[in-house]
Amino acid sequence: MSTTYQRLLQPGKIGSVEIPNRIVKAPQSTGLSNMDGSVSERLIRHYRELARGGTGLIIVEYAYIDKIASKSAHCQLGISDNEHISGLTWLAENIKEEGCRAAIQLEHCGSQKLLGTPPIKAASAVTWPLLYQRMGANAVPEPLTIPEIEAIVEAFGEAALRAKTAGFELIEIHGAHGYLITNFLSPHTNKRHDIYGGSLENRMRLLIQVFESVRRRVGDGFPVSVRLSGTDYEPDGFGIEETIEVCKVLESKGIDAIHVSGGDNQQMIHQISPMAIPAGHNVWAAEAIKKAVRVPVIASGSITTPELAADILATEKADFIGLGRPLWADQHWVRKLREDRPEDIRPCIRCNEGCLERSFFKFKAVTCAVNPTVGREGELEIELAEVRKNIAVVGGGPAGMEAARVSAVRGHEVTLYEKRQLGGSLLGALVPRFKSDIKPFLNYLQTQILKLNVRIIEAEATIKVLQNGGFDTVIIATGTTPVELNVAGIDKPFVYNVSQVLENGINVGKKVIVVGGGIVGIEAALWLDEHNKEVVVVEMKNQILMDCTETDQTALREKLAISQIKVYEGNKLEEIVDDGVIVKQNEEAFKISGDTVFLAVGHQPDQELAEKLREKTKLEVYTIGDCVNPGKIFDAIHTAYKTARKI
């Protein structure tokens, strides 16, 4: 094993509990529980697989502590009633039986009640803006009365006792991310004038009372941690200086560990950072807190690679590493590291597509763009094929490489045809500096198919080649072709498709007009801006970035705000002329000057080869990825995986 990673795999202690290694599964809601908050078989399978993967400590997702107003999300885990103990015991036992330590996080949602159902209770009548957009005045919280606060403090303690009774070995209090305790800690959301508002001493009072209630119920020797945002990143919010003071008070009262994150749901890009935000985004806060306390500190937030995790421990910025999304991208992250196979770890690309957008915002169960088995453990495993086939995969993009990988794991003989370079759409996607997460994923896919002895042919797969190649099955992953615009001047020599430039490095002029304000167009514009080009974006719709996640929208808009890029929304391209473009808005046409035009107006499936194969041969033909329907990495990987595992 490389000495780089040895410290990650060394045991450590939190309170009286020895953790087998320094990797902690940071809690994130899965939406896998039953509607009443009880443990489901699906939830058991999910956490059992994580435990089998070698994680030292699993802090299962946040559990709501009462039946009044603490439940935040759909199918959230509950710990509000003694009837939950039976299922929670089942969950804790499954985790521990795999050699992993089991913990649980206790939570009251406060103002961030994604369900949007009344009552919504918080420190003050300060709403979560996104919820207000959905619900209007119903999203404004009711300020908690002191008797209600006292009842919540007791509910936390009772929930902690249930957790201990169920067999969990550590309890974490959720004091981060804009939930109830943060509503009290932050001046941004706490406008009270009683003993719970105003000074820091008053604003931390609820957290201290919750901790003391938990401690009374579980006893002095039982480990209790707290998760805090180093800062909520609100302009008038809770900063690192105040967080450090809170940590010192908690340490004096006997807290066993501090788990450091950042942001609230309004500042979600600091909490669940997309790839446009630098990796290890909140490690600075963990480092600052570690310098001020003696109890163990867990650093979490966009720590995506073993190299980064190892460096954090080596430079003593934290004592443990909290991984959330990376352990969904690969449940066996730790086991592969222990087996000295870091190249086999499937990296998280921080796209937030399956773990946030489709789950958190669309009320679905958790999944992962690069790992289709998450949330469906025990259903989608790869098994050896009963009949070994000779399979050709046409196209070396993400879908083609994943199909080749899965087919080879199933025992088939696999040949992959790619006439250009392995990577496909990923090659252009990884060019902008702020999309560096794509490169490790491309490396992973390339490494896997090489290790599995997939035969790679750098040539075009014609019908004749496929028909005479002795193949039983052909998987088509030919991707897309650009949408052709019926616009005068489209054939001028200074007009390029965005992918041409990103993939091939074509030199462009000083003044560039990007036609299309979706995520591809905006990312290209930002890349050009970084290279000191004068950039204008023209978008036909009335709003840009309509095709990306909430976090990508926020992060990219922030980058746009500090760039020199000009954006014209609601403008339709009418003509490309020698010195720019003619656009029209509300029947009024005008010219935008420029010397280069980038087209980022979408793609259409390339199904020509698949159609001809079905028409002219008897080969078994499957289509996957963008050649079925242009989409994202999520769609490419999921269609490839689910198709190949059945062939």
Q: How far apart are CA 344 and CA 346, in angstroms?
A: 6
Strand, helix or coil for residue 24: strand
CB crowding 137-156: b at 16 or more within 10 Å, else e: eebbbebbeeeebeebbbbb
Cα gap 87→79, rounded to integer Å: 10
Length of the chain measured in residues: 647
* Backbone torsion region of residue 37, taken as left when φ is above 0, otherwise alpha when ψ lies between -120 and 50, otherwise beta: left
Residue 132 designated active-site:
no
Which residues make Cβ contacts (< 8 Å) with residue 504, sequence separation at least 6? none
* Catalytic residue chosen out of the listed positions 5, 179, 444, 641: 179
Other C-beta atoms within 10 Å of 35: how many?
10
What is the sign of the dihedral through the CA atoms of 157, 161, 162 and 164?
A: positive
Find the distance separating the first CA and the last CA of the chain, reported in whole Å: 36
Q: Is 298 helix (H, G, I), strand (E, B) or coil?
A: strand
Question: Per 3-state DSSP, what percentage of the chain is helix, strand, and coil (rounded to 5)?
Answer: 35, 20, 45
Give the residue among 446, 399, 438, 407 at the shortest CA–CA distance from 627.
399
8 A C-beta contact, residue 184 and residue 200 = no
| Residue 630 one-letter amino acid | P
What letter would DSSP give residue 468? T
Q: What is the DSSP string of 523-575?
A: HHHHHHHHTT-EEEEEESSSSS-TTS-HHHHHHHHHHHHTS--EEEES-EEEE
Q: How far is CA 58 from the centre of its chain?
A: 18
Cβ neighbors of 149 (< 8 A, separation 6 or more) are 196, 206
**Which amino acid is residue 26, in one-letter code?**
A
The dihedrals phi and psi of 153, each to the nearest 5 degrees, come to -60, -45
Rounded Cα–Cα distance for residues 66 and 54 (Å): 32
Q: What are phi and psi of 476, to 5 degrees?
A: -95, 120
User: Residues with catalytic annotation?
Assistant: 179
